[in-house]
Structure 1
Amino acid sequence: MKSHASTLLAEVRTFRQNHPDVRYVDLIALDIPGHFYGKRYPVEMLEKVAAGSPLKLPQNAVLLGAQGGLFKIGDYCFHDGDPDANRRLVPGTLKPVSWEAQPLGQMLITSDGTEAPIEFEPREVLAKVLERLQRKGIHPVVAFELEFYLFDKKLSDGLPQFARDPLSDDADDQPNLHIERLSRFAPVLDDMVETAKAQGIDITVITAELGPGQFEINFGHLEDGLRAADWAALFCRSTRAVALKHGYRASFMAKPYLQHPGSGMHVHVSLYDAAGNNLLAAHQQQPLRHAVAGCLELLPHCMPIFSPNHNAFRRLGGTVNAATRACWGFEDRDACVRIPESDPRNLRIEHRLASADANPYLVLAAILVGLEHGLEAAKEPIAPLNEDRNSGADFPLEMLEAVRAMQHQPTLREGLGAEFVDVYCENKRQDHLAFQQEIHAREYRWYL
């Protein structure tokens, strides 16, 4: 513990030496809906925390709904006295922030590794899954891909407007994959990439996607699943801020346009043993088939994680490469679970179902539990789409049905933690009901 504190203290002191104009640091963590919460600390106080002083925030900050409100979930929030809970600094995440008017820093915090971790904190849920896999000799290597849209900074009657082409000042309203779109939007995209790299994020491939103003960013593969999810979360934060500087809005909303493709979160996962052998490639890839079967079996019960809000369900099946059934295939982007072509060393699954606004810690945790379950159950999967285009199992396409399917699934309750599953399901149920408490203008047009 002393060595750990010394490392953190050295990190903070080095940061102060390299950035003497920074007076405050945002200490941030992701809540259940995928929003950052936290506190802004004077940098001199951060040194004290790094040296071992307590860092406490309200436990129930993790439980906030999509609009920041608190819901009654068991005894939490309204019958527990709103207690504080210890957090710790995440080493290696103290970085300068370039998008604020004044010099600032930011650093991730978590309850993972404290004396009393918060069972429903997303990062803690993933940490437990990774620790359990490590005890079993399973070491995941993970890479995220995130799709997002650029919009004009100004909304029109609350609705998004197409991003303006900076060269022609016309709306970028032609969906395409043309490489020229990367050139036309190079100033904002380059700034997004450089800002992410300053946060320690390894950006690899940039793609102009099918939707107008839609792009995809790929991240490097990591042996640290927690850090891979950190990258996805931090990229969303910095990208939104950079877009505003350039006169745009960046959004990871799952389905901003009904007539254009939605935005997804694709997760590549391979599994290795302690010697570095790819577990999925052994025995003529039989473990790969078992892992796929486990993913598909649990997928219908994980929909509140993969599609975390009303809008995310709109993305499924409406346009290109978004499935409406649990399915898999080799080199098939219509499949929820795709097996990209690769050599045995890099054999992996690509899980394509989650929406871009899903919580990356929870998405990865759910995928890993599915893989773990499949390896242990050793069942054969259904036919791949390459053999049968109608292959697949139904999954819920509406939030309340999805919550019912998730809450009492025994493998998920064991794999993700029963307390987390109960809290998460009630959070999603209450969020969905709160969303319904407004009469849309269309109701008046149809029924008044």
Structure 2
Amino acid sequence: MKSHSSTLLAEVRSFRQNHPDVRYVDLIALDIPGHFYGKRYPVEMLEKVAAGGPLKLPQNAVLLGVQGGLFKIGDYCFNDGDPDANRRLVPGTLKPVSWESQPLGQMLITSDGTQAPIEFEPREVLAKVLERLHHKGIHPVVAFELEFYLFDKQLDNGLPQFARDPLSDDADDQPNLHIERLSRFSEVLDDMTQTAKDQGIDITVITAELGPGQFEINFGHLDDGLRAADWAALFCRSTRGVALKHGYRASFMAKPYLQFPGSGMHVHVSLYDGAGNNILAAHQQQPLRHAVAGCLELLPHCMPIFSPNHNAFRRLGGTVNAATRASWGFEDRDACVRIPESDPRNLRIEHRLASADANPYLVLAAILVGLEHGLDAKREPIAPLNDDRNSGTDFPLEMLEAVRAMQHQAVLRDKLGAEFVDVYCENKRQDHLAFQQEINAREYRWFL
């Protein structure tokens, strides 16, 4: 612990030396809906925390709904006295913030690794899954891919407008995959990627996607699943900030346009043993088939994680490469679980179902639990789409049905934690019901 504090203290002091104009640092963590919460600390107070001083925030901040409100979930929020819970600083995440008007820093905090971790904190849920896998001799290597849209900064009566092409000042309203779009939006895209790199994130490939103003960013592969999810979360924060600085809005909303493709979170996962051998490639790839079977078996029960809100369900099945059934296939982007072509050393799955606004810690935790369950159960999967285009099993396509499917699934309650499952399902149920408490203009047109 003393060595750990010394490392953190050296990180804070080095940051202060390199950024003497920074007076405050945002200490941030991701809540259940995938939003950052936290506190803004004077940088000199951060040194005290790094040296081992207390860092406490309300436990129930993790339970905030999409709009920031608290729901009654069991005894939490209204019958527990709203207690504080200990957090710790995440080493290596203290970085400058370049998109704000004033010099600022930010650093991740978490409850995992503290004396009493919060069972339903997303990062803690993933940490427990990774710890269990490591005890089994399974070491995941992970890479995220995130799609997002650029919009004009100004909304039109609350509705998004197409991003303006900076060369022509026309709306970028033509869906295409042309490489020229990367050049036309290079100023903002270059700033996004450089800012991400300044945060310690390994950005690799940038793609102009099919939707107007839609792009995809790929991250490097990591043998640290927590850090891989950290990268995805931090990239969303910095990208939104950089976009505003350039006169745009960046959004990871799952389905901003009904007529254009939605935005997904694709996760590549390979599994290695302690000697560095690819577990999925052993025995003529039999473990790969077992892992796929486990993923597909649990997928219908994980839909509140993969599609965490009303809008995310709109993305499923409406356009190209968005499945409506749990399926798999080799080099098939219509499948939920795709097996990219690779050599045995790099054999992996690509899980393609989650929406871009899903919580990356929970998405990765759910995928890993599926893989773990499959390796333990050793069942054969259904036919791949390459052999049968109708292969697949149904999954829920609306939130309340999805919550019912998740809440009582025995494997998820065991592997993700029963307390987390109950809290998460009630959070999603309450968010969904709150979303319904508004009569929109279409209802009046149809029924008045």
TM range, normalised to the smaller chain? over 0.9
Provide Cα deviations, 1:52-104, integer angstroms capped at 9, x if missing partner: 00000000000000000000000000000000000000000000000111110
Q: Matches of 2:311 and 2:339 in 1, distance apart?
A: 27
Q: Matches of 2:329 and 2:129 in 1, distance apart?
A: 26
Question: How far 1:168 moved relative to its partner?
Answer: 0.4
Question: How far 1:429 moved relative to its partner?
Answer: 0.1
Q: Matches of 1:267 and 1:117 in 2, distance apart?
A: 26
Q: Does 1:298 align with 2:309?
A: no
Partner secondary structure for residue 295 of structure 2: helix
Partner secondary structure for residue 446 of structure 1: helix
Provide Cα deviations, 1:351-409, integer angstroms capped at 9, x if missing partner: 00000000000000000000000000000000000000000000000000000000000
Question: How far 1:302 moved relative to its partner?
Answer: 0.1
Look up the match of 1:284. Answer: 284
Gaps of 5+ in 2: none
Question: How far 1:115 moved relative to its partner?
Answer: 0.3
Question: How far 1:422 moved relative to its partner?
Answer: 0.1
Question: How far 1:296 moved relative to its partner?
Answer: 0.1
Look up the match of 2:98. Answer: 98
Q: Matches of 1:394 and 1:319 in 2, distance apart?
A: 18
Q: Matches of 2:9 and 2:168 in 1, distance apart?
A: 50
Question: How far 1:287 moved relative to its partner?
Answer: 0.1
Provide Cα deviations, 1:275-312, integer angstroms capped at 9, x if missing partner: 00000000000000000000000000000000000000
Q: Matches of 2:69 and 2:173 in 1, distance apart?
A: 36
Question: How far 1:320 moved relative to its partner?
Answer: 0.6
Q: Matches of 1:414 and 1:200 in 2, distance apart?
A: 34
Q: Matches of 2:404 and 2:234 in 1, distance apart?
A: 31
Question: How far 1:21 moved relative to its partner?
Answer: 0.6
Q: Does 1:425 align with 2:425?
A: yes
Q: Matches of 2:323 and 2:78 in 1, distance apart?
A: 40
Partner secondary structure for residue 283 of structure 2: helix
Correspondence 1:100-139 to 2 at 5 A: 100-139=100-139
Question: How far 1:48 moved relative to its partner?
Answer: 0.2
Partner secondary structure for residue 341 of structure 1: coil
Question: How far 1:159 moved relative to its partner?
Answer: 0.3
Q: Matches of 1:100 and 1:436 in 2, distance apart?
A: 35
Look up the match of 2:152. Answer: 152
Moved >4 Å (runs of 4+): none
Partner secondary structure for residue 197 of structure 2: helix
Q: How many residues are paired up? A: 448
Look up the match of 1:195. Answer: 195
Partner secondary structure for residue 40 of structure 1: strand
Q: Matches of 2:154 and 2:391 in 1, distance apart?
A: 44
Q: Does 1:389 align with 2:399?
A: no
Q: Matches of 1:441 and 1:96 in 2, distance apart?
A: 44
Partner secondary structure for residue 417 of structure 1: helix
Q: Matches of 1:92 and 1:32 in 2, distance apart?
A: 23
Provide Cα deviations, 1:134-186, integer angstroms capped at 9, x if missing partner: 00000000000000000000000110000000000000011000000000000
Provide Cα deviations, 1:216-240, integer angstroms capped at 9, x if missing partner: 0000000000000000000000000
Q: Matches of 1:440 and 1:371 in 2, distance apart?
A: 42
Q: Matches of 1:394 and 1:56 in 2, distance apart?
A: 43
Question: How far 1:208 moved relative to its partner?
Answer: 0.1
Q: Matches of 2:105 and 2:157 in 1, distance apart?
A: 35
Question: How far 1:43 moved relative to its partner?
Answer: 0.3
Q: Matches of 2:103 and 2:314 in 1, distance apart?
A: 40
Q: Matches of 1:26 and 1:158 in 2, distance apart?
A: 29
Provide Cα deviations, 1:242-270, integer angstroms capped at 9, x if missing partner: 00011100000000000000000000000
Provide Cα deviations, 1:315-368, integer angstroms capped at 9, x if missing partner: 000001000000000000000000000000000000000000000000000000
Question: How far 1:114 moved relative to its partner?
Answer: 0.3
Q: Matches of 1:390 and 1:127 in 2, distance apart?
A: 37
Question: How far 1:443 moved relative to its partner?
Answer: 0.5
Partner secondary structure for residue 11 of structure 2: helix
Look up the match of 2:214. Answer: 214
Question: How far 1:441 moved relative to its partner?
Answer: 0.5
Percent identity for Structure 1 against Structure 2:
92
Q: Matches of 1:181 and 1:70 in 2, distance apart?
A: 42
Question: How far 1:14 moved relative to its partner?
Answer: 0.4
Q: Matches of 2:100 and 2:155 in 1, distance apart?
A: 22
Look up the match of 1:438. Answer: 438
Question: How far 1:35 moved relative to its partner?
Answer: 0.1
Q: Matches of 2:320 and 2:25 in 1, distance apart?
A: 42
TM-score by length of 1: 1.00
Question: How far 1:11 moved relative to its partner?
Answer: 0.3
Q: Matches of 1:89 and 1:238 in 2, distance apart?
A: 19
Question: How far 1:207 moved relative to its partner?
Answer: 0.1
Question: How far 1:214 moved relative to its partner?
Answer: 0.1
Look up the match of 1:227. Answer: 227
Question: How far 1:425 moved relative to its partner?
Answer: 0.1
Question: How far 1:33 moved relative to its partner?
Answer: 0.1
Q: Matches of 1:37 and 1:282 in 2, distance apart?
A: 43
Q: Matches of 2:54 and 2:95 in 1, distance apart?
A: 21
Q: Matches of 2:350 and 2:59 in 1, distance apart?
A: 34
Question: How far 1:17 moved relative to its partner?
Answer: 0.5
Q: Matches of 1:34 and 1:335 in 2, distance apart?
A: 25
Q: Matches of 1:6 and 1:192 in 2, distance apart?
A: 32
Q: Matches of 1:346 and 1:229 in 2, distance apart?
A: 20
Q: Matches of 1:432 and 1:286 in 2, distance apart?
A: 40
Q: Matches of 2:22 and 2:247 in 1, distance apart?
A: 26
Q: Matches of 2:104 and 2:443 in 1, distance apart?
A: 46
Q: Matches of 2:326 and 2:237 in 1, distance apart?
A: 31
